[in-house]
């Protein structure tokens, strides 16, 4: 290919299996502070993976909430109370860097099904393209603007509302109630689909953080895949791409993922951190762009070893089309600058396409 392309164009082309000059390197917007190293890497082609603002907002008529700062066991936390026509829900969260941890989840027991469904049913969505367009214009060719629609319905139940232990009990003892909640969430997500399709954003994630050891292949096929397919059908008709944040041990569900219409696998964390290598993933999903998370454990190695691992990852992805390296997880504070600069240098020097295995 001829002519210089921007970091954003490089990512967009790679996601569509089009030719690029070298393997793209991206970093989540919340994980790279403005500094000299950031400026150097951006000048050399590193791309910001920008996930905010979104392209839609929400409101919930008849639902109100209040939040209070509290201290528990010497730790600063936030308690939120949500008032619904069917009763109140409460949760407690603790700040944790760029995210927060659930200390107390919304669902405590069977009495919470009705208020939780009332909260979900009340949500209305509306387009908010203005802030998204403004951010895109501000970032220009330095960032890929990627949207998201939240967790898959079953994943939201397991991860957000219940937690694994409570979900296991509810699935065993009150499965019909769990499935009513699931159906409410499916309808909730469907209200977002047309807004995303009509938005200016071209790339959307549908949930992720799926733990195959918990979900299992059968439940994944029954309660996850059809949601991906429905969203993909609508988005593909609008010329947009869809991916999922699959960052765990994906070997158990690799065949099921292969059968979906997903365009890219985002945040895939290869061996040595999970049960699949880049080569395994390329063999399992040859028609899906692989947007990997650089294995976090490798940041604890020397710069020289990191360069060797980076080169090996790219060789496993040969010839390199539809392959991107990203940072989607925390990095050791004292290693992020030398580590990321090593990766950025390696893709520049060794990630030229086609890559030889």
> pLDDT tens, 21-63?
999 999 999 999 999 999 999 999 999 999 999 999 999 999 9
DSSP string, 59-103: E-TT-EEEEEEEEETTEEEEEEEEEETTEEEEEEEEEETTEEEEE
SS3 content of the chain, % helix, strand, coil (to 5): 45, 25, 30
Q: Are strands 87-96 and 203-208 parallel, antiparallel or unpaired?
A: unpaired
Q: What is the chain's mean pLDDT, rounded?
A: 96
Q: What is the pLDDT of residues 132-151, one digit of tens each?
A: 999 999 999 999 999 999 99
For residue 100, the model assigns a pLDDT of 82
All structural domains of the chain, each given as residue ranges with its CATH number in brackets, are: 7-58+123-149+192-350 (3.20.20.210)
Tokens of 47: 């791309």
- pLDDT reading at 288 higher than 60: yes
- Asked if 342 contacts 12 with a C-beta cutoff of 8 angstroms, the reply is no
For residue 3, the model assigns a pLDDT of 63
Region label for 320, one of left (φ > 0), alpha (ψ between -120 and 50) or beta (otherwise)? left
Q: What is the pLDDT of residues 149-197, one digit of tens each?
A: 999 999 999 999 999 999 999 999 999 999 999 999 999 999 999 999 9
Q: What is the pLDDT of residues 83-98, one digit of tens each?
A: 999 999 999 999 887 7
Q: How confident is the model at residue 101 (pLDDT cuts 50, 70, 90)?
A: confident
* pLDDT > 90 in the chain, percent: 95
Q: Which residues pair with 90 in a beta bridge?
A: 81
Region label for 207, one of left (φ > 0), alpha (ψ between -120 and 50) or beta (otherwise)? left
Rounded-to-integer distance, Cα 250 and Cα 242, Å: 18
Q: Are strands 147-148 and 203-208 parallel, antiparallel or unpaired?
A: parallel
- pLDDT reading at 1 higher than 70: no
Rounded-to-integer distance, Cα 215 and Cα 345, Å: 38
300: Cβ–Cβ under 8 A, 6 or more apart, which residues?
Answer: 332, 335
Tokens of 128: 């908010």
- pLDDT reading at 319 higher than 80: yes
Residue 82: CB atoms within 10 Å: 20
């Amino acid at each position: 290919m001829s002519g210089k392309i921007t970091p954003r164009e490089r990512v967009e082309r790679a996601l569509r299996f089009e030719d690029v000059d070298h393997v793209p390197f991206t970093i989540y917007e919340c994980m790279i502070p403005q500094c000299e190293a950031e400026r150097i890497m951006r000048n050399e082609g590193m791309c910001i993976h920008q996930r905010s603002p979104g392209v839609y907002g929400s409101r919930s008529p008849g639902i109100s909430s209040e939040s209070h700062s509290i201290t528990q066991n010497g730790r600063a936390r936030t308690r939120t109370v949500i008032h619904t026509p069917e009763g109140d829900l409460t949760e407690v969260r603790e700040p944790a860097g760029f995210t927060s941890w659930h200390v107390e989840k919304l669902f405590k027991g069977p009495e919470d099904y009705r208020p939780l469904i009332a909260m979900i049913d009340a949500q209305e969505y509306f387009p908010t393209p203005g802030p998204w367009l403004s951010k895109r214009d501000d970032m220009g060719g330095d960032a890929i603007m990627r949207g998201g629609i939240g967790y898959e319905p079953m994943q939201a139940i397991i991860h957000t509302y219940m937690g694994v232990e409570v979900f296991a009990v509810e699935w065993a003892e009150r499965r019909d109630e769990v499935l009513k909640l699931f159906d409410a969430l499916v309808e909730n997500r469907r209200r977002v689909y047309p807004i995303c399709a009509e938005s200016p954003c071209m790339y959307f994630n549908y949930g992720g953080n799926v733990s195959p050891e918990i979900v299992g292949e059968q439940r994944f096929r029954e309660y996850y895949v059809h949601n991906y397919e429905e969203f993909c059908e609508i988005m593909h008709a609008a010329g947009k791409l869809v991916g999922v944040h699959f960052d765990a041990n994906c070997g158990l569900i690799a065949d099921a993922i292969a059968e979906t219409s997903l365009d890219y696998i985002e945040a895939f964390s290869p061996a040595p951190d999970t049960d699949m290598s880049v080569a395994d993933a390329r063999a399992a999903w040859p028609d899906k762009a692989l947007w990997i998370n650089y294995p976090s454990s490798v940041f604890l190695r020397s710069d020289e070893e990191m360069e060797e691992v980076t080169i090996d990852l790219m060789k496993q992805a040969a010839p390199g089309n539809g392959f991107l390296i990203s940072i989607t997880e925390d990095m050791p504070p004292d290693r992020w600058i030398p580590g990321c600069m090593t990766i950025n240098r390696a893709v520049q020097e060794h990630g030229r396409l086609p890559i030889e295995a």
